Structure 1
Amino acid sequence: MTGALAPERGIELFLRHVSIERGLSPNTVAAYRRDLAAYAAWLDEAGVADLGAVDPARLRAYQGALADREPPLTPASVTRALSSVRSLHRFHHEEGTLAEDAGARLRAPKRAQTLPKAISIE
């Protein structure tokens, strides 16, 4: 592991990776950017200036903050945001810039299943 990795720098490296190396669509990269900007702001408010200092407990706290947010996020939006954060941490762990993948065991909340609509007789 090499020194501290500021969240903003880590996010920019990740976004460059997904847009250039993985060739993801501009809309997908924009969604990652929005999700990770909110994550970076939350880390900043929590006083975390190094992605290496994020542990699973801190990620669970972020998950709770997403669930308690006003206006509330839909379960699908919470799941997408957590997926973005897990991808960020996994990328940096695989690149060797983070010693631990803090998001490896983080699971998104189960989405409620809806019953199918009944077909009318007509």
Structure 2
Amino acid sequence: MPESAASADFPLLETYLDAVWMEKGLSENTLAAYRRDLQAFSRWCALRNRSGTEVTRSDVEAYLASLLEAKRSPRSAARALSCLRGFYRYLLRSGHLSDDPTLGLDSPRLGRPLPKTLSEADVDALLKAPNLDDPIGFRDRCMLELLYACGLRVSELTGLTLSQLSLNQGVVRITGKGGKERLVPIGEEALHWMQRYLREARPELLGNTTSEVLFPSRRAQMMTRQTFWHRIKQHAITAGIQKSISPHVLRHAFATHLVNHGADLRVVQLLLGHSDLSTTQIYTHVARQRLQSLHSKHHPRG
């Protein structure tokens, strides 16, 4: 690899890139991104008459601050810090440095994007979209009702079997990520649709075939996630919903609407099958954003 002018004060930059390429098997694009980040820092240091081995923690902090001041995203600054960490740890291991200037530095806070969700009116319109005169439409209506009532992942929904459903107890037994099981209440409305579906539509879908699959295709086989994603897209068009929609959006709507109506966050965590409460806490931000929007819209001094 030819040494560039930008790395003149970082004589080991290319050596490091060769080493990390061999060690991690990086793609050309990733290696180029590493090089750009390190060369950008090299140029920044050169303007301040600092060489790569003279850099202090304060220098790295100032560089990261300059990236944010230049309107670079926190994610971009965090990536730059990660790249610098790798470089200086290499220099430390190879005996070219006695102190790591990136040690103890916190990455810029990225923030988590709020999940896309639907209003309660949108959900109602979506649930009413399937054609109930068609057993496939009836099945879809029941799947949407269960998806929204239980906050299931799409793979959990399409993989359901009859043995996982208890109409008497009004619950469904879900095997989630990592093989963890949870019992989720179905709710009266979804239970009503499940009873009707099992009585009216499912036998018509199966014909003379027997199957444990709760929501079979016309071939009495388990539906793929991609097929259901396509079905929900079509129903969203029928319902006149303009937003981008997927099965996971209904899972988010389930959680968001629960929190909006005062549900305890730990209960929502159990229903969703989250192993960590911090994953569930995103819905408090969604609910807070919704409250702020309502306040701004309806309060005379909003």
| TM-score, normalised with respect to structure 2 | 0.36
Residue 99 of structure 1: how far off its partner (Å):
0.9
| 1:36 alignment counterpart | 38
After TM superposition, give the deviation of residue 10 of structure 1 in Å: 2.0
CA-to-aligned-CA distance 1:51-73 (integer Å, 9 cap, x gap): 2211111111111111112xx21
Q: C-alpha distance in 2, partners of 1:32/1:63? A: 16
Per mean C-alpha deviation after superposition, the further-off stretch among 26-35 and 112-121 is: 112-121
Would the aligned equivalents of 1:56 and 1:105 in 2 still touch at CA under 8 Å? no
**Which residue number corresponds to residue 109 of structure 2?**
110
SS state of the match for residue 62, structure 2?
helix
Q: CA deviation at 1:97?
A: 1.0
- Deviation, 1:21, is 3.4
Question: How much has 1:8 moved relative to structure 2?
Answer: 2.8
Rounded to whole Å, the distance in 1 between the matches of 2:84 and 2:91 is 11
Percent of residue pairs identical: 34
1: CA distance, partners of 2:106 / 2:64: 9
Q: Does 1:55 align with 2:56?
A: yes
Determine the C-alpha separation between the residues in 2 that align with 1:31 and 1:7: 19
Match of 2:81 in 1: 82
Residue 95 of structure 1: how far off its partner (Å): 1.3
Structure 2 stretches of 5 or more lacking a match?
1-7, 127-302
Give SS of 1:8's match: coil
Shift of 1:22: 3.0
Deviations 1:17-46 (A, max 9, x none): 111233211111111001011000000001
**What's the counterpart of residue 3 of structure 1?**
none
1:84-109 deviation per Cα after TM superposition (whole angstroms, max 9, x unaligned): 11111111111111111111112111
Confirm or deny that 1:19 pairs with 2:21: yes
Q: 1:23 and 1:97 mapped to 2: Cα distance?
A: 24
RMSD, matched Cα:
1.5
Q: Is the 8 A contact 1:90 1:104 kept in 2?
A: no
3-state DSSP of counterpart to 2:59:
helix
Q: Hey, what's the Cα distance between the residues in 1 that align with 2:47 and 2:105? A: 21
Q: Secondary structure, in 3 states, of the residue corresponding to 2:35?
A: helix
| Aligned amino acid, residue 105 of structure 2 | L
Distance in 1, matches of 2:104 and 2:9, equals 20
Shift of 1:110: 0.8
**Distance in structure 1 (CA, Å) of the matches to 2:39 and 2:83:** 10
Q: Secondary structure at the match of 1:91?
A: helix
The 5-angstrom pairing of residues 83-98 of structure 1 reads 83-98=82-97
Counterpart in the other structure of 1:64? 65
C-alpha contact (below 8 Å) 2:75/2:108 kept by paired residues: no
Q: How many angstroms apart in 2 are the aligned matches of 1:23 and 1:94?
A: 20
- Which one is further off, 85-94 or 110-119? 110-119
Contact 1:52/1:99 (<8 A) preserved:
no
Of 46, 56, 59, the match for 2:48: 46
- Residues 52 and 100 in structure 1, CA contact (< 8 A), matched pair in contact too: no
Q: Which has the larger radius of gyration?
A: 2
Cα deviation, residue 115, structure 1? 1.8
SS at match of 1:116: coil
Tell me the distance in 1 between the aligned counterparts of 2:90 and 2:108.
Answer: 22
What is the CA distance between 1:78 and its match in structure 2?
1.0
State TM-score, norm by structure 1.
0.85
